[in-house]
Amino acid sequence: MLKHFSRKGSLAMMTVLLMGVLAACGTQTAAPNTDTKAPATNAAAPAAPAKTEAPKELTGTVTASGSSALLPLVKQAATEFMEKNPKVTVNVTAGGSGTGLKNVADGTSDIGNSDVAAGDEYKDKNLVDHVAAIAPFALIVNKNVPVDNLSKQQAADIFMGKITNWKEIDGKTDAKIVVVHRPDSSGSRTLVKQIVLDNKDFTKDGVTQESSGAVATTVGSTQNSIGYVDTPYLNDTIKALKFNDVAFSKDSIKDGKYPLYGVEHMYTKGEAKDAVKAFLDYITGSEFQSKRVEELKFLPANLLKK
């Protein structure tokens, strides 16, 4: 009885154990997730800053020729421009407005300086005008001449040779008038011919000088002489006359009371480029126009603009 019980108990026990094992096999535990990938993000990587190229350094040579009246202004601008741009050379010469226009038209100069606008003979030369300043000019006499004013008619008669003695002006100074001219290529001569002589011809008598500076020197050293120069050339050895009782000044020109002035042109053949353009931009720019132009006894280019 005991043996039988024991065998049956063992069977039952084994059955229970077997069922437990099977149950355990049916309930497996999921393996832990070991994937450690970083969570996705929508933020884009910052763009690299754009590289900015340094301004290209100006180099080269600029040549300008022509008006001796404009020479002091262009030479001063050239000096300052070369200090700011040490790899650029600016060569400035005179020779008269006609020479400047011819040189720029045929390519001898990069810039042609002129007291007068280019005539019809240059209309097909592709010249581009850059106005640099207003240049007043004055009728000048030697300091021994006791005259302080000339009317337009008196001045015209002197330069045409109709009046040859100062006595015909003041009634008492018996002295032959010495006329000091500029050559035909001079813009100053052209302006006097237009404004004072109404395009009539100058007398052939007198002395001719190649530049405004030479005219000032000759009048200053020659008694009873008369000539004309742009106001930057006025000095203590000569006397500037009133014209129709009006002295030259910024206001008298702006108000239209003093007609003796020229518009100073700097012509290029086609549009200016590179160092030539930069030089012209410097001369016509606000800094040079507002600070230097009047110091040099010229007037700003925009003075007569309405």
Would you write out the chain's pLDDT as a tens digit for each of its 306 residues? 444 444 444 434 444 333 443 344 444 444 444 444 444 445 555 665 666 666 678 999 999 999 999 999 999 999 999 999 999 999 999 999 999 999 999 999 999 999 999 999 999 999 999 999 999 999 999 999 999 999 999 999 999 999 999 999 999 999 999 999 999 989 999 999 999 999 999 999 999 999 999 999 999 999 999 999 999 999 999 999 999 999 999 999 999 999 999 999 999 999 999 999 999 999 999 999 999 999 999 999 999 876
**Contact 146/239 with Cβ under 8 angstroms?**
no
The pLDDT score that the predictor gives to residue 47 is 63
The pLDDT score that the predictor gives to residue 51 is 62
The pLDDT score that the predictor gives to residue 15 is 41
Cα-based distances in Å from 285 to 61, 277, 299, 301, 302: 20, 12, 14, 10, 11
The model carries a pTM of: 0.76
The pLDDT score that the predictor gives to residue 19 is 45
